[in-house]
Each structure stands twice: as structure tokens, then as C-alpha cells.
Amino acid sequence: MKKIVMFLMALAMLSAATAGYAQVKAGSITVSPTLGGYIFEGNEDTSNSLGIGLRAGYNFTRYLGLEGFVHYFPTEITGPGGKEKSNFLGYGIEGLFHILPNGPLVPFLAVGVGGTHYSSKYVDTTEDKANKIAVDYGVGVKYFLTENFALRADVRHVIPFGDIHHNLLYSIGLTIAFGGAKKAAVAEGSAVQQAAAPAAVIMDSDKDGVPDDRDKCPGTPAGVAVDRDGCPPDTDRDGVPDYLDRCPDTPAGVAVDRDGCPPDADKDGVPDYLDKCPGTPIGVSVDKDGCPPPPPPVVQETRSQAEKAREIQEKGRTTLKVFFAFDKSEIKKNSFEEIDDMVAVLKKYPALNITIEGHTDNVGSAAYNKKLSQQRAEAVKKYMVIKGGIDAKRLNAVGFGLEKPIATNGTKEGRAKNRRVEAATADYTIKK
């Protein structure tokens, strides 16, 4: 017990003596032998184990480092015949972020990718001779005993892919550092002289971090980011800094006002350099080129359209000569004009709502014909909505199958008449 106390006292004195320079060094190479344990998720049929590991890394800066690792754990896998000894190997590479790198106690975050390997003679175990990609993340801490030696502790959440598991790795070890930037030694006499010398006063009137003697943009408001010359960024180089620019990304060479916006003489929302129709009266809507939309075309009502309007007015329905591919709901191209005429009637009479009815002959089962007629009615409705621009709420599609024949199904001609699409309305009178 006395020896342990003496060792701890010596360790504390050594730490206190070296705390002034014990820290993470940029450019240093590290090697860390470790001891630890590995906890497997329960459904892996693998026993938790203790094992050894080795880490080797490089610190690009005091804050950022890269570290490769390998660890080995002898374990057991439970198979059909009982427990079997197994070897588990983990390997990979991690990025380290040192949170407080300037002192002897350095916590850090870690995230990495690598792989795991299991070996067992059981062929039915869930992890039989498995090589898997794995990712991990976790935390750790280093405590520098001297400039080149540090104790460390690590905890990682390891996620092997395939049958995804959630495992835990924990370890302790010793980190040995080689090379890296060193602090320049300051002679005692020099330190005394520096302490005695009066500090030079550096003026920075706008508090942007750039001294007045180098600041090319004095008077920058507090909180605005600046470059090394003390000037705020101007991404589009229009002479108005980004924090004042209401029109960022103005093309080079375009004149702008004090807000960084190009002129818009006719106030249509399209700047003059893009406006293809300058002088548009105020209040007139324009497109992206600054031009008002063209007047709508004058639609002349065709004879077919007039007939359909009259039939719906007088009879409450009209037949559409729509042809489909055999045994399908695909509309043939020679039927498009017929449907377009009905679309024109609907556009002329915006209060008109219709039901698109699909009818078939009696060839085939009643259930099949009803399904096919519904699909064909839906196809006509879809055409009117997508191609014709009719609001879907004005259209209803119903398939009646062979339920409503208008001729006998005993003849070829009668069956042809029964295979039809009709547009019907029950409660609308067209206003002339």
C-alpha cells in the first residue's frame, strides 16, 4: 500500500512539473498499445471478451488527427453443439477531434469505418467466418504525463453491417508521441525583459479584428465578417457588400443602386438588363422576360362542338366516338379530336359538370366488362384533365359495363353501338 501511495505521489509531482508543456502537438506521430473489452449484442450468440489492441495515428493539427487501429478478442460462439472458441478481430481508421488540446487533459471525439472478422467451425452460427464492414463512433480522453507520454481511455459504439448489431468497445492504454511542433523555449532573462517592457497599443476602431493601420474598410459594423484587409465580402463584385446587398448574384458589369439592385424603370419586377419589353404599364402582369402574356386565342366553335352542346342541352347526354386498343383502356389517336371537341364545350360553359360513362357489349363476363369500362372512362377523364386542362372536380368517371345497352347484343352492329363512351349531365341547362 505504501508503494502505491508513493507511486501516485510521484505521478502527481511529475504531472504538475510537466503540465506547462504537456499537450497535443501538431505533426506528431502516435502509437498506443491498449487493453480492453468487447460487449456483443445478445442475439449474436457470442460471449463478451477481454483482449488487446494497437492504435497508430498522426495529428495534422492540435485539433484534428487520424488514427488506424486493430484489436483482438478471444471469445466463444454458441452453436448447435454448444460453445466453441472463436477469434474476433476488429480493424479500421478513425478521425479524432481534440476538444481541449492545449492542456494535459485532452478529451476527444472519434468517428471511423473499418471491418470485423469472426471465425468458428460452426456453420450454423449467425457470425460464421464473417467479414463485415463496420462503422463506429465514440469518445475518449488522454492525460499527458510528459510531453511524449499520455494515458488514454476510449469507448466506442460499433455497428457491423449485414445483420446490423450494436456492440460496445472499451479500452485503456498508453499513447507514445514522436516528433511534432515544439514550443520555443524562452530564456528567463528575456521573459523578465518582456514583462518589464510596455505593451504596444494596437488600435482597432471598428473591432473587426484587423488593426486600423491595415484596415482598408474602416467603420465595418460589429458582427460583420471581414477578410484580412478588414473588408466585408462582396460575392457578386458589384461594389455593395453582401450584408447590404438586397440583390446578390448580380452579373458582372451591371449597374446597381446603393442596395446592390439593378434598375427596373417600368417597375414590373424584371430588371432592365433582362427586360425584353421595357415600358410595360404599371399593374400589368409580365413573364420572366418582362413581357405581358399574349391575348388568348379566339376559339371558333366547330360544328361538332355545337352539336355536342345542343345534345347535352336537349337530351342531357352526348355520345363520344372514342376508340380504344383491343381489350385495353389505351385511347387511339384518331379519337383525340372527338375528346378535344368535348373539352372545348366544357371550356365554353364553365358551369357544366359531366359524368363520363363507359359501356361495353356482352362479350366476356359482366365483372370483366364493368372493370374494363371503368378503366376506359377513367382514361377519357385523365385526357380531359391533363391534355385539356379541365378541373378534375368537374368530371366523374363511371363504368357500367354491359348494364345499359342501347341496341341488341345479338348482332355485330348492335354490339358495336353498345361499345361506347357518353358524356352525361342530369341537372344543367346551357345558357345561350
Whether 270 and 320 map to the same domain: the answer is: no
Q: What is the pLDDT of residue 390?
A: 93
Quote the CA–CA distance of 415 and 432 in Å, as a whole number.
36
Residues 6+ apart with CB under 8 A from 169: 36, 37, 38, 39, 71, 90, 136, 138, 154, 155, 156, 158
- Segment-wise mean pLDDT, segments of 10 residues, the chain, 432 residues: 44 45 84 93 78 94 94 83 81 94 92 87 53 92 93 94 83 92 52 54 85 88 88 88 89 88 89 89 87 65 69 77 82 88 89 89 91 92 93 93 91 87 68 46
- Number of independent structural domains in the chain: 3
Give the global pTM.
0.39
Q: What is the pLDDT of residue 102?
A: 87
DSSP strand pairing (167-178 vs 29-39) = antiparallel
User: Looking at residue 395, which CATH number applies to its domain?
Assistant: 3.30.1330.60
Which of 293, 319, 339 corresponds to the end of one domain?
Answer: 293
- For residue 163, tell me if it sits in a domain: yes
Half-sphere exposure of 85 (CA within 13 A, CB side): 1
Q: At residue 191, what are phi and psi to the nearest 5 degrees?
A: -60, -40
Whether 73 and 138 map to the same domain: the answer is: yes
Q: What is the pLDDT of residue 57?
A: 95
- For residue 195, tell me if it sits in a domain: no
- For residue 219, tell me if it sits in a domain: no
Whether 59 and 173 map to the same domain: the answer is: yes
DSSP strand pairing (131-144 vs 167-178) = unpaired
Whether 410 and 275 map to the same domain: the answer is: no
Q: What is the pLDDT of residue 260?
A: 87
- For residue 267, tell me if it sits in a domain: yes
CA-wise closest residue to 354 among 312, 388, 324: 312
Whole domain around residue 268: which residue ranges? 259-293
Which of 268, 293, 318 corresponds to the end of one domain?
Answer: 293
Q: Judge whether 271 and 256 are in contact, CB under 8 Å.
A: no
Q: What is the pLDDT of residue 72?
A: 94
Residues 6+ apart with CB under 8 A from 21: 147, 183
